[in-house]
Structure 1
Amino acid sequence: MSSYAIDLEAQRREVQYPNGIPVNFSKKLDLLFPAELPADALDPLLSAELDLVGLLADIMRTDSGTAVGEVIEVLFKRPRLPKQFLAAIRETYALLLDEDQYEQFIAARPSIGDYVRLSTALIRVYGVDLGKLFGSAGSSAPDGATSSPTSSGTTDSTPGASGFAQDSPASSDSAG
C-alpha cells in the first residue's frame, strides 16, 4: 500500500457534501451540483468576451456619486453586458449540472431572482470568494525590493513571541 504526502482524493471525500450538493429548486425539481466546484466552471464568467475584470476596473474609475450610478454609467457603455452575463451564468450551470438536470432547470424557467439566490447559496457552500477572483492582478504583487529591518537589534518594547501582549498600565489605570 502506498503512502502519499498529499492525498487529494481523501480531501475530496471529506468535503461537506461528498456525493454532491443537493438543491431543492422547486416541488417538481431537485438538482445535484458537484461536491467541489470544477475550475472550468468559472471559465464563462472569466472570459475575455465578458470582461468582468474590465467592468470592475471601469466602475472603480468612474466619477459618479453613487455605486448605483457607477454601475449604470458602465452598463450604458456596455449595452450587451447583461445578456452576455446571463449567458455566462447559464453556461456555468450547464457545466455544473448533467445534461438532463440542466435541461430540466432551464425548462423550469428560472427567474433572475432564482439565479441570484441559487448562485449566492452555491458560492457560500463552495467557499468561493469572487472578490479575490476579480481582484486587481497587481494588488498582491510587490512593487519594489524586499523590505529589510531598520535595525539588526531588538528592543524591550517588542514582544518576544506572537500572541503575547504587553501590560499597559496607562490603559488599565484609566478604567476608573
Structure 2
Amino acid sequence: MSPTTTFALDLDAPRREVTHPHGIAVKLHGNQLIFPAELPADALEPILSDELDLVGLFGDVLQSSDGDSVGTNEVLVALFKRPSLPRKFLAAVKETYAVLMDAEYDEEGKLLDGQFKDFLESKPSVPDYVRLTMGLTRLYGVELGKLFSSADSSESDSPTSKPTSPTTTTDSTHEVPGFVPDNPDSSASDD
C-alpha cells in the first residue's frame, strides 16, 4: 500500500480510548470498577446465546401482538412458555459483566480475586444492574433494542418512506440516574 492511501474507514484511528484512556471508571458501593473503553464483542455473547433465546422471545411477543403495541399479556404469555428464562437471563447478565471485568477462574472454576469478585461481593441490587447497564449502554453507544429487533421490523418496502427527521434526538433524552456524561462541563452554566 502506498503511503498516500486514504482510508474510507480507519478502524485503527483513536476511539473511545481518547476520552477514557484508562477505561471507564464506575463507583458502586464504595468500590471503583474499571470497564473497557470499548465494548468487547464477546461481552454480548451470553445475552445473544441460543440457549437464552431472547431473539425468539421478542419474536414470539411481537408475533402475538399482531402488529399492535405489545402489552403485558403478550410478554407474560411468552415468559410462561420459558419458565427458566429469568434465571438464565440473570446468569447471562452476570457472565457479561464477568467478561467486561476480566474475571479469572482457577482450574476448578472458582472465581479468583479481582474486581468482578469485589463486584459480586458488594451484592449489587437489581436497580444497580439496571443503572449500570443503562449507563454503560449509553457510553458504549449500543442500542439493545436494535440488537434484538428483526431485520425487517423497522424496514419499509414503500418507495416513498422517508425518515421523520434527519437528526437524532439523543441529546434530548433523559439522563440515566447516576450517569455522568463524557464531558460534565458541557452542561454547566456560566453563572
TM-score normalised by the chain length of structure 2: 0.66
Q: Which of residues 47, 50, 55 in structure 1 aligns to 2:49?
A: 47
Give, in angstroms, the shift of residue 15 of structure 1.
4.5
Shift of the 74–123 alpha-carbon distance from structure 1 to 2, 3 Å rule, reads: same
2:26 corresponding residue in structure 1: 23
2:40 corresponding residue in structure 1: 38
Q: Secondary structure at the match of 1:10?
A: coil
Give, in angstroms, the shift of residue 17 of structure 1.
1.6
Following the alignment from structure 1 to structure 2, what is the Cα–Cα distance between the partners of residues 74 and 10? 43
Matching of residue 122 in structure 1 with residue 125 in structure 2:
no
Within a 5 Å distance, the mapping from 1:92-107 to structure 2 comes to 92-99=96-103, 100-107=114-121
Identity, in percent, stands at 53
Within a 5 Å distance, the mapping from 1:1-176 to structure 2 comes to 5=7, 6-12=9-15, 15-27=18-30, 29-63=31-65, 67-99=71-103, 100-139=114-153
Give, in angstroms, the shift of residue 98 of structure 1.
2.6
RMSD: 3.0
Give, in angstroms, the shift of residue 35 of structure 1.
0.2
Instruction: Provide the aligned length of Structure 1 versus Structure 2.
Output: 146
Alignment-mate amino acid for residue 121 of structure 1: G
Following the alignment from structure 1 to structure 2, what is the Cα–Cα distance between the partners of residues 92 and 62? 29
Which structure's residues are more often helix, by fraction? 1
Question: Deviation string for 1:102-128 (max 9, x for gaps)?
Answer: 111111111111111110111011000
Shift of the 44–66 alpha-carbon distance from structure 1 to 2, 3 Å rule, reads: closer
Unaligned runs of 5+ in 1: 148-162, 164-176
8 Å Cα contact 1:59-1:71 kept in structure 2: yes
8 Å Cα contact 1:12-1:18 kept in structure 2: no
TM-score normalised by the chain length of structure 1: 0.71
Unaligned runs of 5+ in 2: 104-113, 160-165, 167-191
Shift of the 13–134 alpha-carbon distance from structure 1 to 2, 3 Å rule, reads: closer
Kindly name which structure, 1 or 2, has the bigger radius of gyration based on alpha carbons: 1
Alignment-mate amino acid for residue 20 of structure 2: Y
